[in-house]
């Protein structure tokens, strides 16, 4: 059996955090969580249901209507956000330790997530202090101006792949906007979220502003989506779940922001910087264990360099270091959960029937147990293959040749997804053309996935609804209202007045 060192003082019981208190589920229900290296239970988590969600939403609603948080000045809220960032940074090593243990992510990559989480709060602290709204002079008789007000209680549902960073990605702008929140973390990776109550208390966040309800998506998540007192809902996860959420949210006309699945293309033209393109393709699909929505899981290569590129990609994949997540030398760790591991392995077997396996495809010999998979490369993958069309969410990449720019664009757009795209070429004009033609919410040209927090993040087609990031996030968690003020003798039609 693969061995794993448990973090010191590992909590064995994870409770909800509602109105400033750690509480069990109303009905006492719990569920087990296990680490992905040994698949051994390490603790029990409170299993939230409708009653727990009701309590959390009620606390958040009271904090919004009666508490100080929505009425603080932007500068005062920004100070609290910066203190949250300080508290996160002071726990960076602990966060990385818990995240690695709970998710199977390599520890060096988990450390990067912790620092990015702190930056989320610092960034939105700056945004709210610098933001301004518009005013319009209408002739000499009226002034119109816009005001921005927090929307109310925000429901936040986060995924299991990079849990803490994505929790803060939603928490930072919602709190910055003056909303109060109910967070429902993923049931497979709840551990790092257990640090959030202490972080919020240390930073001076008032009780009831931040609430945390653990639980299974079909119970706790569904109750949060359906709750009539939650006007904003932000979800990151699988596209099928996103469809269910949209149907439920429509009953109350909730505003939703959803970042969903992806099957992102990496288009490599013959004139590209070959070595940099290989580097980007390897990193783009195998970092974070391949469990990332923006993974470049379809590599489309122009035929002139196709065989050479496949050979190089296979060689690099075979050399990727697969090991215990806690080892700093590890580049690919353990997949999150036995159910997900089985799903990825099923796709590997499907791929063996649909394409040519050139690397990986099985468990590493030196890791006889645990959710480990060698980085896997399929070549000559047809566009109608399931491994080309469907999101695998693991260290598996498909490589397909193309001849012309038009064919490359057609292949890039040949799935239901549209989250990210990557283009490699030395022809800048072609880079711009293809970036515009690829149907995705984000495109990188001659770059891997490096994103500024100011830019819009989100997808099209089955990859999501709405945009977050920068001012787009503040827009989502706010209501923008127009005020029209007469400053002169502004007269209008006089209905019902007798005419001479």
| CA dist 185 → 72, 131, 239, 322, 445 (Å) | 27, 30, 17, 27, 33
Active site residue 346: no
- Which helix or strand (DSSP H or E) is residue 149 part of? strand 142-150
CA nearest to 17, candidates 149, 199, 152: 199
CA nearest to 399, candidates 477, 459, 316: 316
Q: Where are the beta strands (DSSP E) in 315-407?
A: 356-359, 376-379, 396-402
Q: Where are the beta strands (DSSP E) in 391-477?
A: 396-402, 420-424, 442-445, 464-465
Q: Hey, what are 258's tokens?
A: 């959803």
Structural contact between residues 31 and 216, judged by C-beta atoms closer than 8 angstroms: yes
Structural contact between residues 392 and 340, judged by C-beta atoms closer than 8 angstroms: no
Pairing of strands 41-46, 30-34: antiparallel
What are the backbone dihedrals phi and psi of residue 442, each rounded to the nearest 5 degrees, phi first? -140, 140
**Spatial distance between the Cα atoms of 295 and 289, rounded to a whole number of angstroms:** 10
Task: Determine if residue 315 is left, alpha or beta; phi over 0 gives left, psi from -120 to 50 gives alpha, anything else beta.
Answer: alpha
Dihedral sign, CA of 346, 235, 466, 231?
A: positive
Q: Hey, what are 77's tokens?
A: 């809220």
Q: Hey, what are 112's tokens?
A: 């990067």
Q: Of 187, 259, 291, 391, which residue is the catalytic one?
A: 259
CB-count burial class (<10 Å; 0-12, 13-18, 19+) for 142: middle
Q: How far apart are the first and last CA of the chain?
A: 99
Q: Hey, what are 219's tokens?
A: 């119970």
Polymer length of the chain:
500
* Helices (H) then strands (E): counts for the chain: 15, 21
What are the residue numbers of the active site?
259
């Amino acid at each position: 059996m693969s061995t794993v060192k448990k973090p010191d003082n590992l909590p064995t019981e994870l409770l909800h955090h509602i109105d400033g208190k750690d509480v069990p589920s109303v009905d006492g229900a719990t569920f087990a969580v296990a680490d992905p290296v040994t698949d051994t239970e390490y603790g029990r988590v409170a299993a939230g249901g409708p009653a727990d969600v009701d309590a959390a939403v009620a606390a958040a609603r009271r904090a919004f209507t009666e508490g100080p948080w929505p009425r603080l000045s932007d500068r005062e809220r920004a100070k609290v956000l910066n203190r949250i960032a300080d508290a996160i940074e002071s726990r960076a090593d602990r966060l990385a330790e818990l995240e690695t243990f709970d998710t199977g992510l390599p520890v060096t990559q988990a450390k990067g997530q912790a620092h990015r989480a702190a930056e989320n709060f610092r960034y939105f602290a700056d945004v709210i202090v610098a933001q301004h709204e518009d005013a319009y002079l209408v002739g000499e008789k009226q002034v119109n101006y816009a005001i921005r007000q927090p929307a109310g209680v925000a429901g936040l549902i986060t995924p299991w792949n990079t849990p803490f960073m994505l929790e803060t990605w939603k928490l930072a702008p919602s709190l910055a906007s003056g909303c109060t929140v109910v967070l429902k973390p993923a049931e497979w990776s709840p551990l790092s979220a257990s640090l959030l109550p202490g972080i919020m208390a240390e930073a001076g966040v008032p009780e009831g502003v931040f609430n945390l309800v653990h639980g299974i998506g079909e119970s706790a998540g569904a109750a949060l989506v359906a709750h009539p007192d939650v006007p904003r809902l932000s979800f990151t996860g699988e596209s099928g779940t996103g469809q269910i959420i949209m149907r439920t949210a429509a009953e109350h006309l909730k505003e939703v922001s959803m970042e969903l699945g992806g099957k992102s293309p990496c288009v490599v033209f013959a004139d590209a910087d070959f070595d940099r393109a290989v580097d980007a393709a390897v990193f783009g699909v195998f970092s974070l264990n391949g469990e990332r929505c923006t993974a470049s899981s379809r590599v489309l290569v122009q035929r002139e360099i196709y065989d050479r590129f496949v050979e190089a990609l296979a060689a690099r994949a075979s050399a990727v270091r697969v090991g215990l997540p806690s080892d700093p030398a590890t580049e690919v760790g353990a997949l999150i959960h036995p159910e997900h591991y089985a799903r990825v392995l099923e796709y590997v077997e499907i791929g063996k029937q649909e394409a040519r396996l050139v690397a990986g495809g099985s468990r590493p010999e030196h890791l006889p147990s645990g959710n480990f998979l060698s980085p896997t490369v399929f070549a000559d993958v047809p566009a109608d293959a399931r491994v080309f069309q469907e999101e695998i969410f693991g260290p598996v990449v498909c490589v397909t040749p193309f001849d012309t720019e038009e064919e490359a664009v057609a292949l890039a757009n040949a799935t239901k997804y549209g989250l990210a795209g990557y283009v490699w070429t030395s022809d800048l004009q072609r880079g711009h053309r293809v970036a515009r033609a690829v149907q995705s919410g984000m495109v990188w040209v001659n770059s891997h996935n490096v994103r500024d927090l100011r830019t819009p993040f989100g997808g099209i087609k089955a990859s999501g609804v709405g945009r977050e990031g920068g001012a787009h996030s503040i827009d989502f968690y706010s209501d923008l209202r127009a005020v029209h003020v007469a400053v002169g003798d502004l007269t209008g039609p006089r209905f019902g007045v007798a005419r001479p």
